[in-house]
Amino acid sequence: MELLREHGYDAVTVAEIAERAGLTRRTFFNHFDDKRDLLFAGAQDLQDTTVHFVTTAAPELSPFDAALEAFTRAGAMLAELVPFERQRRTLIDSSQALQERDLVKAASLVNAVARALQVRGAPAGQARLSAATAHEIFRAAYERWSTAPASDFSELMHSTEADLRAALAGEQPSD
């Protein structure tokens, strides 16, 4: 991670990362499919955690509220990983290949949450719209948090949700 930050993601080879970590190239590949996986090792955890929170959310919550609560709880856990998450985000933003991988992981996360909402009884269409909208609130709250990591993640989720509701209510820019 340190090495990637010093030299930029695209300039660092797997061999250099392995050397810095005191591993042979072969050992490194036993752990990670490629260097991109190094940065996305947590994505499956995030997905599993979020799905778990959807599955265990109170049955009386609507699909959207269940998804929103799950992203809020998972995001609050993620927000404890400062400063790793900020470094990771800076690296991802520096490389087109990493941004593409990030999009793939995000799409997988939305699909997994939508499936979990369907297990709770939501029809496919409602599940997908709820999961995608809750994820967009999560994405925007996470972006806000990454520029102000001292802030409370749940608060950011609530204020971002309020912003989205205002936008859908046809609120005009106040400038």
Q: Is 152 left (phi over 0), alpha (psi -120 to 50) or beta?
A: beta
Mask: binding to a copy of itself, 18-57, rule CB under 8 A, as x and -?
A: ----------------------------------------
- Contact residues for 3 (Cβ-Cβ < 8 A; gap 6+): 12, 16, 17, 20
Helix (H) / strand (E) containing 90:
helix 84-93
**CB-nearer residue toward a copy of itself: 72 or 160:** 160
Distance CA 143, CA 136 (A): 11
Residue 88 binding a copy of itself, by CB under 8 A: no
Given 85, 115, 129, 154, the residue binding a copy of itself (CB under 8 A): 129
Residue 146 contacts a copy of itself per CB under 8 A:
no
Cα separations (Å) of 1 from 31, 132, 164? 15, 30, 35
Q: In the complex, which residues of this chain contact a copy of itself (CB under 8 A)?
A: 62-65, 99-100, 103-104, 107, 120-123, 125-126, 128-130, 132-133, 136-137, 139-140, 144, 160, 163-168, 170-173, 175
